Structure 1
């Protein structure tokens, strides 16, 4: 992705918000995967005032998530429902001013690296409150009206991830056993709601006052809201810490806050089921990412290292399944 090529059109686009003569300064890549790129920069208006912003765009790789303009619509709807979200400044598709899918949002200051969230002394006071805050935020996520966002996928996640495992094309007996067991013991579904799909430590911006923003809506879909609660509790997102909710809190804190905020009662067995499903899902994702490296589709030490995580998740599943 040639970022220099984007600077001029981006400045012209932002001129409608910050005034004629707006310049783009410091546009550089912060992070990105095979299909999404995140870049920090500043818009400098004619008066010299700076406006810290973030650009998300596509790299040309295959994306399994929603188009970025859909993510922008989700963030706007989430903010209206009370979810802490970056303000969306602009968004567009490949036929728009940047020639690629993009969303520009205001930069929210804070920490997003999980190990720092769990260990930074500056966040020690707020850490015990994060699980409850996540419960309150997820109740707001699940209040987002489905008709306020673009059409979202409604496929059965168990069917989806069983098909994904089949596409890996290699034997994983523990994962196959887990999916069969999960299918047989599936709890009754809650009324469908907008599900974030990747709500976890790592997709949150945290400051001394708590969670300041929820990021990365590309996997949002319509489904059982307990899926989001279970995914937040997956062991991988504890990053070596002991507490089961994101490494920073307990089940009771999460569920009490979720229910008090209007999320409705959550059956503990259903939460446990969705947590186990999340572990299986993450294992399948790791296997898929490793396969990308091993097949030569994208050579990457990071992708190769994820292959080792498959066995870790299989071990966790063997302990979780009855």
Structure 2
């Protein structure tokens, strides 16, 4: 499609044919245009009635008709199961006149951005009711029939992510996490339908309640605790203390779930899946960074995501009670400018940070973040590396690789070993994102 007018005409012709109605389309506006999906909002007048609709379409150069057909089928089935989802108006493949596989659905109104939702007074006021909404939605998702789409298959999330993680190298904190998961297994439950990415960003809130569950790109058959554990993973709390998405309690989540499912999991099962969630997200961050580091996609954003693995390492330790959130001092040392003298590299970096900090352009914010990391590593890296070397030596290890292998192979988790693990994780976080170290653990009950 050359422009919004061409797209409006194509949508109009398609809907008129499929709905056998008089249709006119206006106000076609792009929302996103990425490698995964392109999204537009528009108004369709159907037999004289205005309807606010959304078009999700594959990029022309990256068409996946089977995936789009699955998404449409699953959303339809979710609606029939009682899940709050947009209503599907039409869907089709690349031969349907819109140039690529697509879904047209009702436009739902609300907010999906976590920072805005967590600052919303109505979300805070309705935190228990909202957590119950999520629990009910998860239970309703589990009622979706497996045969709603032929491509829905059983997926062992834990086994797949452990394989992905180990392919990328071992990390001491993650090895402690994997060992804890093995030593504290959850009951084997009957397999159910799973959303696969049930978290902020894919959940729309309106007036402090759940308005819609979005982005059905990772559905599969799996464990009934998967979605509950994912929405309770520490990364999705965004610095807020409550376990469920930063606003709700496990108790309220399970109240909502039980009201529909008819049974109640144990709190510890949610904890198990949330610890796994931290490992899962860390593995995903490392996988995304690898895409740019191997030359698949040139992206500063993806490269920076690789540093976020330290956040997930810290979350594993916090989740297991092996680290306590709180502010940490960033050590610095004075470096000789050498032959270049003035202005020093530190002064140049600070000017870059200051200049990009005044911009609201997303790419400039990425540059500021990257340069800030470089500045902290230049100033503090040598001291932090020495701290880690000392902690490793005290525990009897020469490197974090050696430490990770030892943990994997069953080494006793002594105080000195835990200190070495924690020192490495906290040192990486001090360089990457010092504020994250102070993000709170869940409140005590």
Deviation at 1:26, TM superposition (A): 2.1
CA contact (8 A) 1:11 1:24 kept: no
Find the counterpart in structure 2 of residue 23 from structure 1.
25
1:244 to 2:246 alignment? no
**Bigger mean CA deviation after superposition, 226-235 or 67-76:** 67-76
Q: TM-score, normalised by structure 1?
A: 0.89
Q: Deviations over 1:258-308 (max 9, x none)?
A: 112225220222221111111111111111111222233222333233222
**1:228 CA drift (Å):** 0.7
Cα deviation digits, residues 190-230 of structure 1 (max 9, x gap)? 10000011111221111116111100111110000101100
In the TM superposition, what are the counterparts of 1:3-82 in structure 2 within 5 Å? 4=4, 6-15=7-16, 16-17=18-19, 19-28=21-30, 30-45=31-46, 47=48, 49-59=49-59, 67-82=67-82
Q: CA deviation at 1:64?
A: 10
Does the 8 Å CA contact 1:131/1:245 hold for their aligned counterparts?
A: yes
Partner SS, residue 39 of structure 1: strand
Report the equivalent of 1:158: 158
Maintained 8 Å contact 2:15/2:23: no
Distance apart, 1:61 and its partner CA: 7.0
How much has 1:66 moved relative to structure 2? 6.9
- CA RMSD in angstroms comes to 2.6
Aligned residues: 319
Match of 2:351 in 1: none
The structure whose Rg is larger is: 2
Q: Is the Cα–Cα contact under 8 Å of residues 128 and 248 in structure 2 kept in the other structure?
A: yes
| Match in the other structure for 2:272 | 273
Q: Mean Cα displacement is larger for which, 275-284 or 5-14?
A: 5-14
Counterpart residue number, 2:131: 131
- Paired position in structure 2 for 1:188: 187
Q: Which moved more, 1:175-184 or 1:224-233?
A: 175-184
Distance 1:288 1:64 in 2: 21
Unaligned runs of 5+ in 1: none
Render the CA deviation track for 1:126-149: whole Å, top value 9, x for unaligned. Answer: 344211111111111112222334
SS, match of residue 90 in structure 1:
strand
What displacement does 1:180 show? 4.8
More strand by share: 1
Could you say which residue in structure 2 is the equivalent of 1:260? 259
Q: Give, in whole Å, the separation in 2 of the partners of 1:262 and 1:321.
A: 29
Higher relative contact order (CA closer than 8 Å, sequence separation 6+): 1
Listed as ranges, the matches of 1:195-206 within 5 Å are 195-206=194-205
CA distance in 1, matches of 2:64, 2:222: 17
Counterpart for residue 222 of structure 2: 223
SS at match of 2:185: coil
Q: Distance in 2 between matches of 1:61 and 1:242?
A: 42
1:133–1:211 contact (8 Å) kept in structure 2? yes
More helix by percentage? 2
> 1:52 deviation in Å?
1.4
SS class of match (1:211): strand
Assess if the C-alpha contact under 8 Å between 2:58 and 2:64 holds in 1: no
SS at match of 2:125: coil
CA drift of 1:236 comes to 1.3
SS of residue matched to 2:143: coil
